[in-house]
Amino acid sequence: MFEDKQGGLTPITNLGEFSLIEKLTKDFPSFHTETLKGVGDDAAVIKLGEGKVQLISTDLLLEGIHFDLRYVPLRHLGYKAVAVNVSDICAMNGKPYGITVSIGISNRFTVEALEALYEGIRLACEKYRVELLGGDTSSSRQGLVISVSAYGEGAENTTTYRNGAKKHDLICVSGDLGAAYAGLLVLEREKAVFLKDPNMQPDLTTYGYAIGRQLKPEARTDVIGLLENLGVLPTSMMDISDGLASELHHICHQSKCGAFIYARNIPIDYLTSRIAGELEISPYTFALNGGEDYELVFTISLKDYEKLKGIEGLHIIGHITDEPGRVQMELKGGSVVDVEAQGWTHF
Amino acid sequence: MFEDKQGGLTPITNLGEFSLIEKLTKDFPSFHTETLKGVGDDAAVIKLGEGKVQLISTDLLLEGIHFDLRYVPLRHLGYKAVAVNVSDICAMNGKPYGITVSIGISNRFTVEALEALYEGIRLACEKYRVELLGGDTSSSRQGLVISVSAYGEGAENTTTYRNGAKKHDLICVSGDLGAAYAGLLVLEREKAVFLKDPNMQPDLTTYGYAIGRQLKPEARTDVIGLLENLGVLPTSMMDISDGLASELHHICHQSKCGAFIYARNIPIDYLTSRIAGELEISPYTFALNGGEDYELVFTISLKDYEKLKGIEGLHIIGHITDEPGRVQMELKGGSVVDVEAQGWTHF
């Protein structure tokens, strides 16, 4: 009204999310030597003294972008909002401590609806032993807004960053990949059927695992405990929120290395493959680009191979190379393709 | 779609914000003895060892609720988003350390607009010596969403809570009150004129101070330093975000006491009074219920009176009583009225 607030005219779509963040945050000064890591990893890392560090992570969840309340129960949404933040603490090899939760709510929400949301938040707090430290509550003209920050603890010498991968390190992932995205596509398909004919009630019983992975993901605090018990300290680690391809590119970019993975070693659940078949999409697309699995991808030194070999639920899928920024995958037939961070859907 | 997610039917408007928060958070368990304060003060307080504590505060700012981009420049908005969080750290008698900033942006925003927002955020970071620790960036279908968390440091034995006020303590405020709300009303008035006739460009030159208080408030880190230099440790403290009346009720509620203040002692700027006159509203309504001044209200022990007396920018406005939950004010004419937390507009 009183001035031209928009100034220039460069659409944000001209830049990717990561270029935009880099552009916006590059001039920020640093004041405290205790900050070991600010912007640019799964969590910020702040030195506390006596070898301890604090980890801080934050995530914004917006209705219509991150969730669709037509098929996401509020209890599950509350649980997931906590789990995805705890997952970021795990990705630094830390232990979760507490969260803050801010919500913006439009007046179409009832008290009972909010109680369902907070019941999910509470269940996740109990599961991960994190406590609610505070938050902010506001009305919203714009549907449901959820902002969660998570706080964790770690040790200075065992915190795992994205930039520690070295040539010959082995690349590992936990659990299986692609199921969360497969579940999302099933839910979207059934929503479309439902919207066309509200009498058609979807039968989702045979898709349970994939839908569960989408609606109620878990943070892999157990994997952090397992690695500690095995005496394995990863050289780099991330959680898989955007898809394996994107995360490997982050690790390669920050570690100034490349990655070579084998399609046959990528863990994909049978149901994920079946859904991929129904939808005529490659299951590798789900695993590489689907995202929201909240599994961990990490690299280990070759010397730790024997400790990890054969451990259930952990999979060695490839190794680190010295070609900066290049992620390659050997397909089952033996040919090798470059894996792009996004939109890589050709096999 | 697949289940009745709304369950019961109690409108959220049936509960106030504070009752709602209490209802939603009452069953959350506590796991860590280091947490000295969770939900319920300006910031959470966590013990770090060696007598130090960490302070955590978070605020959600939503377009259409907390700001109107028709008259709020993005640079100012960025500055304010940081200042209001730093203010919460001040309210605990702490020193700010860092912030995280998450934003949700619709595609009508240009890169240049976001740069303006982040320039404001950066200016505030420089002013308060806080560093940007991280954040999240997302698209939004719904206008601008800003979620800021602030981290600060304090000492266990000098952290000020809402619950420490005692009978006979003196009630003090910093700066002057009501100007931010006066500025908001002027901006809203000029917006209405502008929307009616876009050729009418508002002349705001004579309202500068009030508009500045609304658009670019400052956190009173200087008052925290001043109190330290004076050797005064407040018995309770809050920042004035919702208005003096509401904050006094919080202090009285948590300290199980009452408050008695004198209208003649409430600091109100001449311009605030002039705007109140133009709008035919009592300036005390601005001061008590306007909010967004981000001044500090605190109580001190009687023994500290001599230290504080006559210090510029600090005002003793009343004292604590033993009537739990009752806030009273003596008007200039000598009559005494009860001050309600909200909607108290009669003088």
Q: Does B310 touch chain A (CB under 8 A)?
A: no
Phi/psi at B216 (5° precision): -140, 70
Q: Report percent pLDDT > 70 for chain A.
A: 96
pLDDT at A325 over 80: yes
User: How does the average pLDDT of chain B come out, rounded?
Assistant: 92
User: Where does chain B have alpha helices with state H?
Assistant: 17-25, 74-91, 111-128, 179-196, 208-215, 221-230, 244-255, 270-279, 283-285, 305-308
Per-residue pLDDT, B8: 65
Q: Which CATH homologous superfamily contains domain A12-157?
A: PurM-like, N-terminal domain (3.30.1330.10)
pLDDT at B239 over 70: yes
CA distance B34 to A274: 48
Residue whose C-alpha is closest to residue A56's, from B150, B62, B7, B175:
B150
Interchain CB distance below 8 Å, A131 and B35: yes
pLDDT at B5 over 50: no
**Mean local confidence (pLDDT), A280-286:** 95
Q: Does B63 touch chain A (CB under 8 A)?
A: yes
Which tokens hold the place of A107? Answer: 């007046």
Per-residue pLDDT, B1: 47
Which residues are paired to A174 by β-bridges?
A: A314
Rg (CA), chain A: 21
Residue whose C-alpha is closest to residue A102's, from A75, A81, A128:
A81
Which residues of A fall within a CB distance of 8 Å from B148?
Answer: none
Per-residue pLDDT, A346: 30
Interchain CB distance below 8 Å, A3 and B73: yes
Q: Does B43 touch chain A (CB under 8 A)?
A: yes
Interchain CB distance below 8 Å, A8 and B39: no
Which residues are paired to A55 by β-bridges?
A: A45, A152
Which tokens hold the place of B317? Answer: 């406005």
Burial (0-12, 13-18, 19+ Cβ within 10 Å), A211? buried
pLDDT 10s digits, B185-201: 999 999 998 888 888 87
**Mean local confidence (pLDDT), A181-197:** 92
**Mean local confidence (pLDDT), B84-104:** 97
**Mean local confidence (pLDDT), A58-80:** 95
Per-residue pLDDT, B20: 85
pLDDT 10s digits, B292-302: 999 999 999 99
Domain B170-338 classified CATH 3.90.650.10?
Answer: yes
Interchain CB distance below 8 Å, B143 and A141: yes
Which residues of B fall within a CB distance of 8 Å from A10?
Answer: 110-112
- A62 and B138 in contact (C-beta within 8 Å)? yes
pLDDT at A146 over 90: yes
pLDDT at A73 over 50: yes
Chain A residue whose CA is closest to B58:
A135
Q: Does A221 touch chain B (CB under 8 A)?
A: no
The number of C-beta contacts closer than 8 angstroms across A and B is 293
Task: Give the strand order in the sheet containing B35-37.
Answer: B35-37, B44-49, B52-62, B145-155, B95-105, B131-139
Residue window 177-216, chain A: list those with CB within 8 Å of chain B: 191, 194, 201-202, 204
Q: Return residue ranges of chain A for CATH 3.90.650.10.
A: 170-338
Per-residue pLDDT, B107: 83
pLDDT 10s digits, B25-71: 988 999 999 999 999 899 999 999 889 999 999 999 999 999 999 99
Domain B12-155 classified CATH 3.40.980.10?
Answer: no
Interchain CB distance below 8 Å, B38 and A134: yes
pLDDT at B207 over 60: yes
Interchain CB distance below 8 Å, A56 and B151: yes
Residue window 263-282, chain B: list those with CB within 8 Å of chain A: none
Per-residue pLDDT, A204: 86
pLDDT 10s digits, A261-270: 999 999 999 9
Per-residue pLDDT, A218: 97
Per-residue pLDDT, A343: 40
CA distance B120 to A36: 25
Residue B10 CB contacts under 8 Å (≥ 6 apart), including other chains: A110, A111, A112
Rg (CA), chain B: 21
Which tokens hold the place of A185? Answer: 């596509």
Per-residue pLDDT, B204: 86
pLDDT at A296 over 70: yes
Phi/psi at B327 (5° precision): -115, 120
pLDDT 10s digits, B268-288: 999 999 999 999 999 999 999
Check residue A268 and report its DSSP letter: -
**Mean local confidence (pLDDT), A298-312:** 96
**Mean local confidence (pLDDT), A68-87:** 96
pLDDT 10s digits, A94-106: 999 999 999 999 8
CA distances from B35 to A14, A133, A323, A324, B332 (A): 44, 8, 47, 44, 44
**Mean local confidence (pLDDT), A133-152:** 93
Question: How many Å lie between the alpha carbon of B5 and the closest alpha carbon of chain A?
Answer: 6
pLDDT at A145 over 60: yes
Q: Return residue ranges of chain B for CATH 3.30.1330.10.
A: 12-155
Residue window 101-120, chain A: list those with CB within 8 Å of chain B: 102-105, 107, 109-116, 118
Which residues of B fall within a CB distance of 8 Å from A103?
Answer: 60
Per-residue pLDDT, B10: 83
Chain A residue whose CA is closest to B43:
A134
Per-residue pLDDT, A9: 77
Chain B residue whose CA is closest to A17:
B137
CA distance A87 to A301: 23
pLDDT 10s digits, B130-148: 999 999 999 998 789 999 9
